[in-house]
Amino acid sequence: MGNGSSFDQARTVFLDINGKEEKIIFSRHSSSRDIHELIAQAAGVSRHALISLKDTTGAHVFVSATMPLNSAANPYKVQTKDAGTSSADSDAFQAVLTQVAEQLNRVFQMEETKSHLNQRINLLEKKLEVEGLKSVEIDKCKSEISFIRDHLWDSQKKSLDSNRLSTPITDETKANHRRDVPNYPKYTLSQETVDYLKQPTFDIWHWEPNEMLSLLEHMYHELGLVKEFNINPIVLKRWLLCVQENYRNNPFHNFRHCFCVTQMMYGMIHLCRLWERMGTEDLGILLTAAVCHDLDHPGYNNTYQINARTELAIRYNDISPLENHHCAVAFQILSNPDTNIFANVDKETFKRIRAGMTMLILATDMARHGEIMESFKDKLAIGFDDKNKEHLDSLKMVLIKCCDISNEVRPMEVSEPWVDCLLEEYFNQSDREKVEGLPVAPFMDRDKVTKPTAQIGFIKFVLLPMFETVAKVFEKIDEVMVQPLKKSKDRYEEMKSVEEAQKQQKENTT
């Protein structure tokens, strides 16, 4: 599907606003916010109002350019923040809360252990997810059962205070996320969105944070990871929120980049049918490593960390300080029962998950690019063997590297804004390096680098050789990824020629 012709046409959705029929028309280029504002205008409410859509079955509908089209006979019912909760919903909500309170009272009266308390609350949360959240808004549930999380947090805080991981660069109150009922909506994804999510052409700029969280959640369910690891659905939501909180608001290395890399990994899993070469556990390691690979990135690379002798560089002896830090934050989050999606696996399985994720996240250090690629090529030369663990590990390392730096595989309108974001982050670093008297890399210096010069060499000497090598294992990679990379290189070379011609003309006129 991807960027098919149906996406290029105008799309019409019919609405039921307090019994009055309305309709909105938008294009595939419309963002969720654009569509939200169209609905708000049709409903006669502020564009800042909270709006939700429900289909004829009562299911929430994802507000996006890929929402399922309907007809005038089956309009989506529009609800705003001012729409009251029905008495039936209120009764159901109170019944669930009463049961939670009664269970908790029995727990506290019997002075049960903290571990037992966690198990009880997890069971209640599962029940709330299945039975209660169908009729109760999550934000109300969040406020009403705050006493649950507070009791648990108080007990956890005592142990955390006595045994904290000292990581100066990160905010530990984020990594040690308080127990909370996740507050992003539960969306119904159209089949078009579900299919589009698997494509390398997926436009990651049209999705808001809550929607990205919901799409990541969908990936874990669709790949069978929730079943494989027996993940509590509420814990999965809470973990995703905690991960989001631990990505900083950098120009490039931010939560959208995390989503972008994870979506590409999800796309490659389907494109290459990786389940035919590895087990579900390995797929879970690949996807989770992609989610966590840049946690708490400060926006300044390893070279800066080492030259500036930062605490991270000292902590990790100048060896992949950022990647080691990303791993540390990832497992600090997973050490909290509230945000441990692997809490229900046995010790040996968790040991494999931890080793696999660490290996993959550390592989994203570009200083190791040559070493990792040579090792992979050596294995291809003797014949790649799916049953050989070393061969499979080598493939997984190359796959996460591909996903991490895969922007130029995407369509120009998706990839080019990322170049601007990366250059902004580079320029921030080089400006700081100049002030602090540290070495400045030419490719990061705003006085020397241009967009085409930054990309041509990178595509030619890093991306193309890497993706062409992977295409020897998965033939589809050539058509879907290698060819777009070649077109991207040609486009930047043309852009460079135009810039040089303009520069020469300017010099001639002066």
* Residue 248, amino acid: R
DSSP H helical segments within 223-344, as ranges?
Answer: 225-228, 233-245, 255-271, 280-292, 302-307, 311-315, 321-334
Tokens of 210: 């809550």
| 404 labelled ligand-binding | yes
The answer to whether the CB of 467 falls within 8 A of the CB of 482 is yes
Specify whether 253 is catalytic. Answer: yes
| 119 labelled ligand-binding | no
Q: How far apart are CA 321 and CA 303, in angstroms?
A: 10
| 431 labelled ligand-binding | no
From 36, 177, 206, 253, active-site residue? 253
Please write down the long-range contacts of 356-360, taking CB distance under 8 Å and 24 or more positions apart: 356/282, 356/285, 356/289, 356/393, 356/396, 357/285, 357/288, 357/289, 357/292, 357/327, 357/330, 357/331, 358/327, 359/393, 359/396, 359/397, 360/285, 360/286, 360/289, 360/293, 360/396, 360/397, 360/400
The answer to whether the CB of 303 falls within 8 A of the CB of 334 is no
Q: How far apart are CA 426 and CA 432, in angstroms?
A: 10
Tokens of 298: 């400060």
| 354 labelled ligand-binding | no
Q: CA Rg, the chain, in Å?
A: 25
* Residue 35, amino acid: I
The answer to whether the CB of 133 falls within 8 A of the CB of 186 is yes
Strand partners, 77: 16, 54
Give me the count of residues in the chain.
510
- Report in angstroms the alpha-carbon separations of 400 from 285, 403, 404, 467, 470: 11, 5, 6, 12, 12
| 270 labelled ligand-binding | no
SS3 label, residue 24:
strand
| 490 labelled ligand-binding | no
Tokens of 231: 């993940």
| 253 labelled ligand-binding | yes
Tokens of 113: 């252990």
| 297 labelled ligand-binding | no
| 455 labelled ligand-binding | yes
Q: How many CB atoms lie within 10 A of CB 402?
A: 21
Phi and psi based region of residue 22 (left: phi greater than 0; alpha: psi -120 to 50; beta: remaining): beta
Annotated binding-site positions: 253-257, 293-294, 404, 455
Annotated binding-site positions for Zn(2+): 257, 293-294, 404
Catalytic residues: 253
